[in-house]
Amino acid sequence: TQLLEQSPQFLSIQEGENLTVYCNSSSVFSSLQWYRQEPGEGPVLLVTVVTGGEVKKLKRLTFQFGDARKDSSLHITAAQPGDTGLYLCAGGGNQGGKLIFGQGTELSVKP
Amino acid sequence: DAGVTQSPTHLIKTRGQHVTLRCSPISGHKSVSWYQQVLGQGPQFIFQYYEKEERGRGNFPDRFSARQFPNYSSELNVNALLLGDSALYLCASSWDYHMDTQYFGPGTRLTVL
């Protein structure tokens, strides 16, 4: 059974701080997606990484795919209250269109 | 272009009833996947359909079924509802069945009493 473990599960920080969320697995994935979800809404795609060692930047967000394609990280610089939400990583490519999700990281950024 | 749409937004049912949830993919997308998200957890894969055929099934009982129509829209049916079926049901679409990048709809919140 493929599993993705995210850490930390909960994160409460002050505006302006930096943070990193980790997504780890013992399985190799052909791609890794990061989503952000607001309460009661569907996940919104932030990025897809497909190459081992790949780094993608989206404004203050930096995403990295591990060299062995088993892990990924999301780094947020100078967090803002608008970054508050549930961050989900999802691995894909091993079973058609089935995505394997981590349990999520609940981020709260206080002004 | 419109994103993935789902209906209804919210639904309240009682145990033993059945429910039908509907999804319309992004225009041009031929693959639709269904996920169940229980509060506090990540989404769990239920089904994937492509060109009206089931391409994948998650670890869910036979009470769960789905189908895809010629216009690529999809329905998820759940029979004999249990309290544990209460969840946010998400639909996601992608261009092709092997595409990892999936775009999600807003979900249907199902409450079983």
What's the pLDDT score for residue B38?
95
Nearest to A92 among B6, B55, B100 (CB): B100
Instruction: Name the phi and psi angles at A83, rounded to 5.
Output: -80, -10
pLDDT per residue rounded down to tens, chain A (111 residues): 678 999 999 999 999 999 999 999 999 998 999 999 998 899 999 999 999 999 999 999 999 999 999 999 999 999 999 999 999 999 987 666 789 999 999 999 999
- Tokens at A67, concatenated: 């060299």
Distance, in Å, from the CA atom of A72 to the CA atom of A61, rounded to the nearest integer, reads 13
SS (H, E, C) chain A: CCCCEEECCEEEEECCCCEEEEEECCCCCCEEEEEEECCCCCCEEEEEECCCCCEEEECCEEEEECCCCCEEEEEECCCCHHHCEEEEEEEECCCCCCCEECCCEEEEEEC
- Tokens at A99, concatenated: 């995505």
What's the pLDDT score for residue A86?
97
Q: Which residues of B touch A104 (CB under 8 A)?
A: 41-42
Total Cβ atoms within 10 A of residue B87: 20
Q: Say yes or no for a CB contact (<8 Å) between B41 and A104.
A: yes
What's the pLDDT score for residue A88?
97
Judge contact between A44 and B104, C-beta under 8 A.
yes
What's the pLDDT score for residue B40?
86
Rounded to a whole number of angstroms, the CA Rg of chain B reads 13
DSSP B25: P
pLDDT per residue rounded down to tens, chain B (113 residues): 689 999 999 999 999 999 999 999 999 999 999 999 998 899 999 999 998 999 989 999 999 999 999 999 999 999 999 999 999 999 999 987 776 789 999 999 999 99
3-class SS of residue B85: helix
Within 10-29 of B, beta carbons closer than 8 Å to A belong to none
Q: Say yes or no for a CB contact (<8 Å) between A100 and B45.
A: yes
- Tokens at A42, concatenated: 């569907």
Amino acid letter, B113: L
Amino acid letter, A33: Q
